[in-house]
Structure 1
Amino acid sequence: MGSELGAQLEPKVIPAEAGQWLLDASVSFTKGCYTGQELVARVDSRGNNTPRNLRGLVISSNVLPPVGAQIFVDEQLRGTITSVGESLDLRAPVALGYVHRSVEVPSQAMLRWPALGAVEGGEVAAQIRELPLLMA
């Protein structure tokens, strides 16, 4: 089911976690009753203070971490990578991931992953940024 929604929008994601743009594009606050309406309205009324937020990460080297790599800030686990790719504008590898709301943006992070099958374990430094990822 998650593949129909995209890597960032799986069924367990609260729409506000993915960003205000998703709420603006897909959630009605005036429509009649629908599944999840009470949760969405509660999150909206509390200022979209969700447990985690979708963030961009600009990776410091040419190493692409695998999807599922863990995001560490100050040696504490703070999130997980949901997708990776290359940014032609930034000329750097980039990733998207859900990061705990306590992490200030921008922040420095380490992305870590264990060896799994053909994928070697590793780590790489990255900067956590607000979306969209634009040149500074």
Structure 2
Amino acid sequence: METRIVNTIPEWRYQAEVIARLHKMEDAGLPFTCAGDMNRAKRNRRAQMEAKVTGLTAGEPDVRVYISGGVLLSFELKTPKGGRSKDQKGRHAKLQALGFEVITVKARTPEEMADLIEIDVRRRLP
């Protein structure tokens, strides 16, 4: 019998690790700030309606990084088996057509995801 290791880490843990890392960098005085979204969160019908009318947009990237000098990076986080949804593909294409950068990052672990994003953000700091 073959033994397989299956990655069952939920995507929100990846995002939590990334946001914690970015906040640590921000607290150290680096010239940026960040924000995260959980558009995929489970909501009852009323909460879905409230989210829609207050601007929650399907397909919006998971993490935004605002860098000094007017640079906006948007990161879509994916687990090893994750892929972009139809809404994400459409939204990302629209943002890119407007001149914004949307970066999809796939990693095996939350720590690896945070490492990759930290490297990318540091590379773009003034």
User: TM-score band, normalised by the shorter chain?
Assistant: under 0.3
TM-score, normalisation: structure 1: 0.26
> Relative contact order (alpha carbons < 8 A, sep ≥ 6): 1 or 2 greater?
2
Structure 1 or 2: more helix by fraction: 2
